[in-house]
Structures are given as C-alpha cells and as structure tokens.
Chains A and B, each alone.
Chain A
C-alpha cells in the first residue's frame, strides 16, 4: 500500500530518466541521508564509529569500485587490494613530498595514479577472460606487495617498512575525532556513489554491461571492447585507489604493506558476491555484512550470557561466518541486493498476493 507507483505519471523522458523515478524511493533516500548526516553523529558511540561505520564506509567504496569492474563490466579481478595500496602509498608520498596540497586534491591524485596502474594491469583483459584474467590480475597483487616492501623510496626509507600519517586537515577542518572521520567519509562515499550511479545509467555504463552480457553482439553494434574494458579498469581502480588512501589515512593511520594483502582482495570480492554483482546498493550491503557480522558474532555470546574462552569465540565466529555466507549464496545467489529488490516488488502488491 505504501510502496506503490500508481498515479505517478511521467510526462517527459527527463522525468522518466531521473535517478530515482519512484516517489517513495526518493523519500526513502532523503530520509536515509538525513539519518546518515544529521541523526547518526549524535546516536552512535565512538566504538561503533571506529570499529564498524568507518571501515564499512571505506570498504563499501572499494567494493563499489570493484563492482563497477566485475559486476558491471564482467571482468574478474582478484588483485584489487593492490590498487588500494597504490592509492594509499600515492597519497602518503604526495602528502609527504608536496605538503601544501589539500587532502581532497591528494585523494583525487591518488585515485588517478591508481587508475593508471589499474589501466596497465587491465591490458591483459583485452586478450583473456574469466579465470585466466583472474590469475593475471593476481600478478598485480603480488607485484604491488613486492614493490612496496622492497622499493624503500615509497615508504620513505622507514626501517620497519611501516608508514604513518598525520591528521588530515581540510580547509582548517581537522579530521581527528571518530564523528568527524565518519562525517567526512560519509560525504565522500555519498558523492562517489552518486557519480557511479550516473556512470552506470549513461552510455558508458551500458557499454560495460553490454561487454559483460554478450561481447560479440556489443562489438557488432559498435562498442569498442578496448575502450569499454580499459575504462572499466581505470574507473574501478580510481575508486579503489581513493578507498585505499582513505583506508590508510582515516582508518589505519599507520600501516605496513601487509595491510593490503590478498586477503583484502578476496574480502572485496566476497562483498560484491554477497551484496550483489552489478548493483551499487549491493556493494554497501556486502561491505556491511563482511564488516559487521564478525563483530556481531564475536559479541553475541556475551549478550546471550554465555561465557566462552576468546579462542573458542574466534573459532565459532569463523565457522558461523562461513556457514552464513554459504547459506546466503544458496538462498539468493544474486546477493542481498536481489533480496532487496524482491522485497520491493512484493511490497508493490502488498497486501494482495498478485
């Protein structure tokens, strides 16, 4: 009854082409934004910001970037943490060597550098696909791990190989408290999510999806595979590079090359598989699932009044987490985003069955 588009007639293509054509969706998104920017900063504890919301927002941005490549363009990559590390180290070196740069400029430049590296490692995609491409992108992972561990210039000759960052300052606004970090990230992620949504609903996005669904037909109607695939790699790496810079500067503060290992790459892939391939919303669902669920599982025994040893809790956590992933994939292989849209379709008809 509430979610019904009856009577919302579109009288122009502009109205039909808008981002959220259904009034209820616009209201929901508006309320969500109010909650994120106005209510949330007063409601949640510092612990909640630091251990859940901040990593969630950054990883959602990275998952979104990966989703543009894997979910929208159909090119598999299991080396995306490498591009995160490129973004993080690029930002570190930019801040170190050109201190007068505004951090927002640093973010964009770090993203562009990651995009360039991503473009390079995307070149094999022009010849190979599927699992073979996945293995080729693994090369990016190992190569970047090696570069940042061995080439000392990138880590400013730090003896331990770990680097640390100063507090971010944007036009005199210090990003030093959990709430400020959260608000800064929420703003960045909102902007990037809107840009991504715009991309996938314009002709570049359609070219990506055409490559994903049927590459021969895409070529025949004039879509150039080189352009479509390489832009997907570049844009995806840009997003992931920005996320990497944020991960280093806002979340970690100081890090060593292992922070961007293959585990993180795989986690990003899990996020988009669980959240939903080819869905921007799905990237957020997936990131939240991967970030919040282990913490929830970890604390659940305490809340339930069961006292277990720490080792036991962490073993149980891994087991239940793995089982839940399998459960979700069996129930809905297309991810949480698909569940969400099924829910919306049901809601359109509710309370009637048909």
Chain B
C-alpha cells in the first residue's frame, strides 16, 4: 500500500438507529455510514451511547428502530455469531480475554470460526485435524509477529501487564481476518509509549490489511491524528459528523465537551 490510501464505497450504513433500555434512550435516530478502508472514530462524553453503537453493529443489541446495511445488504436482527461470520470483529473496553488460557490459545480462538474438523477427528487427532491446526497456527503466528508479542506466546494472559493484554485482545480480533474491526477504547489506561505503539498498530492494520476500522476513543489527540472521519454522539444523539478538521470547528461539539454557559 504505502502512500495515499483510497477510501472505497460505503460498507456499513446505519439509518435512523434508535435503541432504548426501558426508559433509558441510549441511541436516538442516529444515522451514519462507514466507508471501506477508512478509520472512523466515534467520540462523545461518557454515556453518550458509543459502546451501544458498537454493540448494535456487531449484533449484541438489536435497535428498536432503524436499519443496518452491511456490504450492501440489509440485516435483520443478526446475532453476534452471524456478525462474526460476516467478518466483523471487535475488541472490548474492559479487556475480555480468556483468563485461563495462554496468549497463543486466546489468539487461536479467533480462528475457531474457520476450523472445521469434527469432534472425532480432533479427539483422535487425525492427520486432517492436525494439518488444520498447523495451518491456523501459522496464520496466528503472523498476527503474533505483526503485533510483536512473540515473547509471550505461552504466558497465561492473566499474568501480562495491562498494555500487553490490550494488544492480545487486538491480536485475537485480527486473527479473525476481519473486514470490519470495531475497537472499543483501545488506548484507555495506557501510557504515552503504549498509546503510540497502539496507534501504529491500528494504522498498520488499516494500511497493510485494508481493514475498515471503527474506533471509540477518548484521547482527542489520537482521534484527530489517526481517523479519517469522526462522528460525535451526545446523550444518544448525533451532534457532529465529518473530518477531524470539521469536528474541531463544530460549535455543538465544543459545547458538548466544554459545556455551555446559560
């Protein structure tokens, strides 16, 4: 890839999404799209509905109103499994790694969807099952190389420091070879160096694999630097949508973040 990247067609289109839990209206009539190969950031104050938005995209929540179109086709209440099959992967705000498993096994679970050998083939470790296991191990090793976590392969994830756990979380999502990658606060709680590393990884993923990325982040410096377009949510409503420069000058966004005097 290298130099200037080309933003493609719309891959994900959300129209008039409304989601409420009882009386709490998490999202109200939110409309936005994501284009192929772009880094799309969602920002907003706490409780603005950012994580709910990601949960709608990958099928954890089903909006009461509105339509989601993915790759040109409308979806009706897809569940998380179908979303995963369609190539949507995500990382979690509070690390959701499999604590009892090694780094390698955690990342290998990202390949589970692609592994087809049956129960008996696995139990008897038939040559076909072993070959499949080795093929996927190789794919996983590429992700491990990419994210520079070779030294920690066999370590139980619970023993890793926080920043590395975040990286393993990303590795597990990448192992799915997703078309659309949802990152929920990938840099929360990191120091400057770790943030820089993570930014580089996100940009490299976007650049080398051509993965479309939707990202929630609170660090404005990071958001403005790495995203192509930004959407701003406040109290479940969309108050801004555009390039980082446009967002920087948007009065409604400034009011939401800095408060407004009455």
Residues of A within 8 A of B (CB): 13-14, 17, 195-196, 198-199, 202-207, 209-210, 212-214, 216-224, 231, 235, 278
CB neighbours of B134 from chain A (8 A): 13-14, 17
Closest to B98 in A: A213
Determine how close the nearest CB of chain A comes to the CB of B157; give it in whole angstroms. 9
B161, chain A: closest CB distance, angstroms? 19
- Nearest chain A CB to B96 CB, angstrom units: 4
Q: Are B119 and A204 in contact (CB under 8 A)?
A: yes
A220 and B60 contact, CB distance less than 8 A: yes
Known contacts A13-B138, A209-B105; decide if A214 and B98 are in contact (CB<8 Å). Answer: yes
Given known A-B contacts A203-B108, A206-B105, A221-B113, A213 and B100 have beta carbons under 8 A apart? yes
A203 to B133, alpha carbons, bound, how many Å? 8
Structural contact, A202 and B176, CB atoms closer than 8 A: no
In the complex, which of the residues A196, A204, A216, A278 contacts B96, with contact meaning CB atoms closer than 8 Å? A216
Instruction: Report 23 cross-chain contacts, Cβ distance below 8 Å, ordered by A residue.
Output: A17-B133, A17-B134, A195-B123, A198-B124, A198-B125, A202-B125, A203-B115, A203-B117, A204-B122, A205-B122, A206-B105, A209-B100, A210-B109, A213-B99, A213-B100, A217-B92, A219-B81, A220-B60, A221-B173, A221-B176, A222-B81, A223-B81, A223-B112
Interface centre among B58, B81, B90, B176 (most CB of A within 10 A): B81
Interface of B (DSSP majority class) = helix
Taking Cβ atoms with an 8 Å cutoff, the residues of B that contact A are 58, 60, 79-81, 83-85, 89-90, 92, 96-101, 105, 108-113, 115, 117, 119, 122-125, 129-130, 133-134, 136-138, 141, 172-173, 176
CB of A202 within 8 A of CB of B98, answer no
Shortest CB distance B93–A (Å): 12
Contacts of B124 in A (CB 8 A): 195, 198
Q: Are A217's CB and B111's CB within 8 A? A: no
* Contact of B119 with A223 in the complex, beta carbons under 8 Å: no
If the complex has contacts A213-B101, A222-B81, are A203 and B137 also in contact, measured as CB distance less than 8 A? no
Interface centre among B79, B101, B123, B129 (most CB of A within 10 A): B123
Provide the bound-state CA to CA distance between A214 and B101, in Å. Answer: 11
Residue of A nearest to B85 (CB): A222
Contacts of B125 in A (CB 8 A): 198, 202
Do A221 and B112 have beta carbons less than 8 Å apart?
yes
What are the 9 A-B residue pairs with the smallest beta carbon separation, nearest first? A222-B84, A222-B113, A217-B96, A213-B98, A202-B122, A203-B115, A195-B123, A219-B80, A198-B125
Which residues of chain B come closer than 8 Å to A218, judged between CB atoms? Answer: 98, 109
How long is the Cα–Cα vector from A204 to B80 in the complex, in angstroms? Answer: 19
Q: What number of residue pairs across chains A and B have CB atoms under 8 A from each other?
A: 105
B52 smallest CB distance to A (angstroms): 14
State A70–B247 Cα separation when bound (angstroms).
51
A17 to B100 alpha-carbon distance, docked (Å): 18
- A229 shortest CB reach to chain B, Å: 14
Query: Smallest CB-CB separation from A219: which chain B residue?
Result: B80
Residues of B within 8 A of A214 (CB): 96-99
Given contacts A203-B108, A219-B79, A220-B90, 13 further A-B contacts (CB under 8 A): A14-B134, A17-B134, A195-B124, A199-B119, A204-B119, A209-B100, A212-B98, A213-B98, A213-B100, A214-B96, A220-B58, A220-B84, A221-B84
In Å, the complex CA distance between A30 and B118 comes to 29
B112 touches A207 (CB 8 A): yes
CA distance A216 to B60 in the complex (A): 9
* Chain B neighbourhood of A209, CB < 8 A: 98, 100-101, 105
Q: Which chain A residues border B58 with CB–CB below 8 Å?
A: 220
* Assembled-state Cα–Cα distance A102/B127 (Å): 28
Q: Let me know if B141 and A13 touch, CB within 8 A.
A: yes
Q: Are B119 and A222 in contact (CB under 8 A)?
A: no
A13-B141, A14-B130, A202-B125 in contact; A207/B109 too (CB < 8 A)?
yes
B122–A278 touching, CB < 8 Å: no
Give the Cβ gap from A334 to chain B, nearest Cβ, in Å.
10
What is the CA–CA distance of A353 and B110 in the complex, to the nearest angstrom?
38
Q: Smallest distance from the beta carbon of B159 to chain A beta carbons, Å?
A: 12
- How long is the Cα–Cα vector from A278 to B176 in the complex, in angstroms? 26
Chain B residues within 8 Å of A196, by CB: 123
Interface pair A199/B122, CB less than 8 Å apart: yes
Chain B hits for A217, CB < 8 A: 92, 96-98
Minimum CB–CB distance from A181 to chain B (whole Å) comes to: 25
**Closest partner residue, chain B, to A198 (CB atom):** B125
By a CB distance below 8 angstroms, the chain A residues around B89 are 220-221
The answer to whether B101 and A202 touch across the interface, beta carbons within 8 angstroms, is no
